[in-house]
Amino acid sequence: MKYILKLFFTVCLYFAIVPLAKAEAPYSLNVVYFIPQDDEAVEGFESRLSDLLLYIQKFYRKEMIRNGFGNKTFGLVKEGSGKVKIIVLRGEEKIPYYSYADGGGYKAEREIGIYFTKHPEEKKSNHTLVIMPSTSNDDMRPGGVPFYGIGKYCFALDYPYFDIKYLGENSPKGRLLTKWFGGMAHELGHGLNLPHNSAQVTEGEKLGTALMGSGNHTFGLKPTFLTKASCAILNNCEVFATRKKRYYDKDTNFKLEGMEIAFTDDKVLVKGHFKTVLPINGVNIYIDHSPYGQVNNDYDAESWTVKPRKDNHFAIEIPRSELHKRGNCFQVRVRLLCANGMIHTQVAEFNWEDLKTYQLVKS
Ligand code: ZN
């Protein structure tokens, strides 16, 4: 009887504890600390970077919830200690080979790719954040190494004062932290499929600066947020998944069958319809002012997002009062978001002085 009771209590205790244990996300961001042959890791990087990454993870979660996409954020693998797991890799070459100016990012990416081929169990998704120690030899002016996000890779740097204890501090180290920490949060956004965008007028007054605009300069110091359009893309990003499924397969059946962009005195009207086998669960519209372009001229593009109807039609009205209008020319960029993370983009160009309706008709 005593044994049965003991067993009963053990089982009860098991079921009481197990649900509290957090299951690992089905996909996680790969975090790699990449050190050139003749360089050294910056002291204490494991715990400093872990604290910083967990802060960014929480920020993304808060913004996903605020924008109505639920309690989701990118996965991070944790060690038993609760710290974020960081893969430490030694580069094959010396410091100059991996410099920002010399395309060091692609070179590091190639070696990391080889590492993942040899150790597939270490690769937790297609998305990788690479952090390299600064090579500038000046702790208050870090730099020298790749710092950008492109494709599924993004690059940030480490230096001795890269420490969350300085966050929000109005001091040289506090402002320096915002620059490089905000920079890491912003480049990570690129590595998680995000393009640039800025706040709409009212949104900016209420929420501050969009992280994928110039929020890398305000992160941790002043109000900084993720736009709803950014969150709509993250909602389909592999490392935000709450269950395993296929990501990033090219949908050869997708076709934008029609689209119209028209103008009234106070609105921009965008509507369209498409054909697809894989579901499209969002349509993002960006108004990008001259000089425009998808690489580094799109920071000022205000964004909107709308869900398509079940019959694959979408329509949105954008108030012109929500645009920070600059210059005569602008682009309307329409991005159709596939639930598997792929994005189909259609671009149309206009001039405020001579607005014409844009019509795309495909048979
Ligand atoms: Zn950027």
Q: How far is the CA of 196 from the centre of ligand 1 (A)?
A: 6
Strand order in the sheet with 128-133: 87-90, 30-35, 128-133, 153-158, 149-150
Q: How far is the CA of 100 from the centre of ligand 1 (A)?
A: 15
Q: How far is the CA of 296 from the centre of ligand 1 (A)?
A: 7
- CA 146 → CA 72, 129, 316, distances in Å? 29, 11, 39
Q: Mean pLDDT for the chain? A: 93
Classify 82 in phi/psi space as left (phi over 0), alpha (psi -120 to 50) or beta.
left
Q: How far is the CA of 294 from the centre of ligand 1 (A)?
A: 10
Q: How far is the CA of 192 from the centre of ligand 1 (A)?
A: 12
Torsion angle in degrees (nearest 10) through CA of 137, 91, 190, 274: 160
Q: What angle (nearest 5°) sits at the alpha carbon of residue 157, between those of residues 151 and 162? A: 135
Write out pLDDT tens, residues 7-16.
444 444 444 4
Q: How far is the CA of 348 from the centre of ligand 1 (A)?
A: 22
Nearest by Cα to 284 from 332, 241, 246 = 332
| Whole-number pLDDT of residue 326 | 75
Q: Is 244 exposed, middle or buried (0-12, 13-18, 19+ CB in 10 A)?
A: exposed
Q: How far is the CA of 195 from the centre of ligand 1 (A)?
A: 7
Write out pLDDT tens, residues 37-58.
999 999 999 999 999 999 999 9
Q: How far is the CA of 299 from the centre of ligand 1 (A)?
A: 8
| Whole-number pLDDT of residue 324 | 94
Q: How far is the CA of 230 from the centre of ligand 1 (A)?
A: 13
Q: How far is the CA of 179 from the centre of ligand 1 (A)?
A: 13
When pLDDT is averaged across residues 124-129 and rounded to a whole number, the result is 98
Where b means 16+ CB within 10 Å and e means fewer, 128-146 reads bbbbbbbbeeeeeebebbb
Q: Does residue 64 register a pLDDT over 80?
A: yes
